[in-house]
Structure 1
């Protein structure tokens, strides 16, 4: 006997049909429309988090430059200028080393400026901390949007089931209806929670 949305084969089993993934995807995306504000906030958090994660290593590189400049400057004669030191190195035949140190901002006679290094490291720590906090907020927003959408979907399913005639349930096993009302929606929610934030983060990380 035929049921809604399908036919029964001669052997009594349901006729298997190919699923409309494109149509299902569009309907699923449409269900997230009430969460537009949350999704925009989610995207903003992810963009800022990825941006800070990209900037963080550059700040750490600045700390490395300060340490290197201090090590180089410590072994140079105090009172001389950077240009004088480089000129002296070229006169001794160390032109390649002089060219390498030309882009290094060192002061002859001065060692590592631990105060400046500390400030840079604190800034890097703040940047990475902010990136982690924003990603945590984004994860929470993902869960919020998905949970609200799944709640509305359950309400729609409940409303639909309450309108169906008793003959519909007589023709189907109890487990089939229960699976559609609970398990399928739970699987959709879990899949979205696990993949939505990771997908956005991965895409923006590649772009960054």
Structure 2
């Protein structure tokens, strides 16, 4: 019955109208359903059920929130004034090591960090690509140097095939990075 409902509401077409691999919010789906009084609670339940049955995929900012609420992460906020006066990283000042070292050592937190970065990147890139369409016309080369996995460069290159992309990061990051036509990859740690 859930599939029947999804078909009647045109949910697959609504999601597909955003483009392959693009995210769409529950509110955006509701706005495109031909009804002046779409019930978001019921729609949310339907979408959660469809995601649970792997008919569609749900994304969330939960990993970002979980990472941001870890004691080591919160401690860095107590060092803002030191960072303003001395420069440097609040995380390193509070904990004695970098966020990257910390997230590499504790796999659960590393996964929260990586998934949170990827989720944030997808949301931001969707807005950039839909609102900055002509801005990439004169661009021939774009590079990702550290931070997340290079998904932003992949999305830009896939949306604008005339642009060549470079993903320059740590070897384990580059291994997980999305691929795109004519991509160039490299290691930013000197040997």
TM-score bracket, shorter-length normalisation: under 0.3
Normalising by structure 1, report the TM-score: 0.23
Normalising by structure 2, report the TM-score: 0.24
Structure scoring higher RCO (CA < 8 A, sep ≥ 6) equals 1
> Which structure has the larger Rg?
1
| Bigger proportion of residues as strand | 2
| Bigger proportion of residues as helix | 1
